[in-house]
């Protein structure tokens, strides 16, 4: 449990505000962001109860974190993104490279601190995530679930 808390503290310390990124502001954007946060929370609960050793989707965890950061006008450093994946650093870096090679993310050097590199989702990946969240939202609405967590 202390390791999880430590990772969250490190993650928070490595996340900075970045007003130059595009954020979200429509009702649809807010619903998507709420869905992404709910999924991230559900995954954290699942991992806590059943254990990290049973589940590993580092790329998906990274994409969720990056999508949420995008919606909250934040940029994430490489180390912050890797920490969301709950895998060793070398594994996380390998997955970041796969995401970059597939055209979903880009890395850029921090202009204020050349030692830090930021990661952000590219527009096509954001659109893909939005498609996923929209389709899940439609399914939830048909089941009557959307009213539970899409209230403003």
Nearest to 122 by CA among 61, 72, 67, 76: 67
Structural domain including 119 reads 2-149
**What is the reported pTM?**
0.77
N residues, the chain: 152
Q: What CATH number has the domain bearing residue 55? A: 1.10.10.10
Domain count, the chain: 1
pLDDT in 10s for each residue of the chain, 152 residues:
555 444 544 444 443 333 333 445 788 999 899 999 999 999 999 989 998 778 889 999 999 999 999 999 999 999 999 999 999 999 999 999 999 999 999 999 999 999 999 999 999 999 999 999 998 877 666 655 555 554 44
- Torsion sign across C-alpha atoms 85, 87, 117, 10: positive
């Amino acid at each position: 449990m202390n390791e999880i808390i430590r990772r969250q503290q490190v993650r928070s310390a490595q996340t900075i505000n970045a007003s130059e990124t595009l954020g979200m502001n429509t009702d649809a954007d807010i619903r998507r962001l709420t869905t992404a946060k709910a999924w991230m929370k559900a995954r954290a609960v699942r991992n806590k109860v059943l254990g990290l050793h049973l589940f590993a989707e580092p790329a998906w965890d990274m994409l969720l974190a990056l999508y949420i950061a995008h919606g909250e006008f934040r940029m994430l450093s490489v180390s912050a993104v890797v920490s969301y994946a709950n895998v060793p650093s070398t594994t996380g870096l390998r997955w970041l490279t796969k995401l970059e090679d597939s055209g979903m993310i880009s890395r850029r050097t921090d202009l204020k601190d050349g030692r830090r590199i930021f990661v952000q989702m590219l527009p096509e990946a954001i659109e893909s995530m939005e498609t996923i969240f929209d389709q899940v939202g439609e399914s939830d609405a048909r089941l009557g679930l959307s009213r539970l967590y899409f209230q403003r």
